[in-house]
Amino acid sequence: MRIKGLVRVFNHVRSQLQAGLKPDDVEPFRKQVKTIIRDVEEICRKHRVAPDQLPAPSRMAYVFLKELDLDNLPVIQAGEPARAAPTFRVKNVVKIGDYFADRLWQQFGLLLISSSTRTLLEREIDKQVSALERLCALNDQTPSALEAPSRRVYCWLKFLSSEDNLTLHLEALQRARKVMNEHHLRLDRPLHLHLISMNAVWRQREYKNVGLLKVNEGFLNADQNVWQAMINRAVSGRDPASDCLIDEFAESDDFSEVLFEIESLAAPTTRSARGRAHSLDESFERVNATYFNGRMPKPTLVWNRTLTARKFGHYQPSRDTLMVSISLDDHGVPAYVVDFVMYHELLHKKLGVVTVNGRRLVHSPGFRADERQFAEYNEARHHLKQLAHRQQGPSGQTMTVESDDSNA
pLDDT digits (tens, 9 = 90+) for 154-209: 999 999 999 999 999 999 999 999 999 887 666 778 899 999 999 888 999 988 88
Q: How confident is the model at residue 85 (pLDDT cuts 50, 70, 90)?
A: low
The pLDDT of residue 342 is 97
Q: How confident is the model at residue 131 (pLDDT cuts 50, 70, 90)?
A: very high
User: Please, are residues 311 and 329 in contact by the beta-carbon 8 Å criterion?
Assistant: no
Q: Give 194 or 275, the one with higher predicted confidence.
A: 194
Q: How confident is the model at residue 391 (pLDDT cuts 50, 70, 90)?
A: low
**Among 14-18, 109-113, 115-119, 354-358, whose mean pLDDT is lowest?**
354-358
Q: What is the DSSP string of 93-160?
A: HHHHHHHHHHHHHHHHHHHHH-HHHHHHHHHHHHHHHHHHHHHHHHTT--GGGB-HHHHHHHHHHHHH
Q: How confident is the model at residue 144 (pLDDT cuts 50, 70, 90)?
A: confident
User: Please, are residues 395 and 251 in contact by the beta-carbon 8 Å criterion?
Assistant: no
Question: From CA 391, how far away is CA 398, in angstroms rounded?
Answer: 12
User: Please, are residues 213 and 192 in contact by the beta-carbon 8 Å criterion?
Assistant: yes
Model confidence at 405: pLDDT above 50: no
The pLDDT of residue 359 is 67
Question: From CA 116, how far away is CA 287, in angstroms rounded?
Answer: 49
The pLDDT of residue 196 is 97
The pLDDT of residue 402 is 29
* Neighbouring C-beta atoms of residue 111, cutoff 10 Å: 23
Nearest Cα residue to 247 out of 200, 204, 206, 211: 200
User: Please, are residues 304 and 263 in contact by the beta-carbon 8 Å criterion?
Assistant: yes
pTM: 0.69
Q: Give 127 or 48, the one with higher predicted confidence.
A: 127
The pLDDT of residue 251 is 80
**Among 42-46, 88-92, 341-345, whose mean pLDDT is lowest?**
88-92
Model confidence at 406: pLDDT above 50: no
**DSSP bridge partners of 324:** 303, 313
Model confidence at 267: pLDDT above 70: no
User: What number is the average pLDDT over the span 113-134?
Assistant: 96
Query: Residue 359, by phi and psi: left (phi above 0), alpha (psi -120 to 50) or beta?
Result: beta
Nearest Cα residue to 57 out of 198, 227, 240, 211: 198
Q: Give 242 or 355, the one with higher predicted confidence.
A: 242
- At position 243, the amino acid (one-letter code) is D
Q: What is the dihedral of CA 360, 301, 62, 253, to 10 degrees?
A: 0
User: Please, are residues 399 and 243 in contact by the beta-carbon 8 Å criterion?
Assistant: yes
For 217-259, write each residue's pLDDT tens digit. Answer: 999 999 999 999 999 888 887 788 898 899 889 888 788 889 8
Q: Give 77 or 226, the one with higher predicted confidence.
A: 226
- At position 135, the amino acid (one-letter code) is L
User: What number is the average pLDDT over the span 87-106?
Assistant: 93
Nearest Cα residue to 268 out of 131, 149, 150, 145: 145
Q: How confident is the model at residue 355 (pLDDT cuts 50, 70, 90)?
A: low
Beta-sheet strand order (sheet of 191-196): 191-196, 211-216, 202-206
Q: How confident is the model at residue 396 (pLDDT cuts 50, 70, 90)?
A: very low
Q: How confident is the model at residue 78 (pLDDT cuts 50, 70, 90)?
A: low
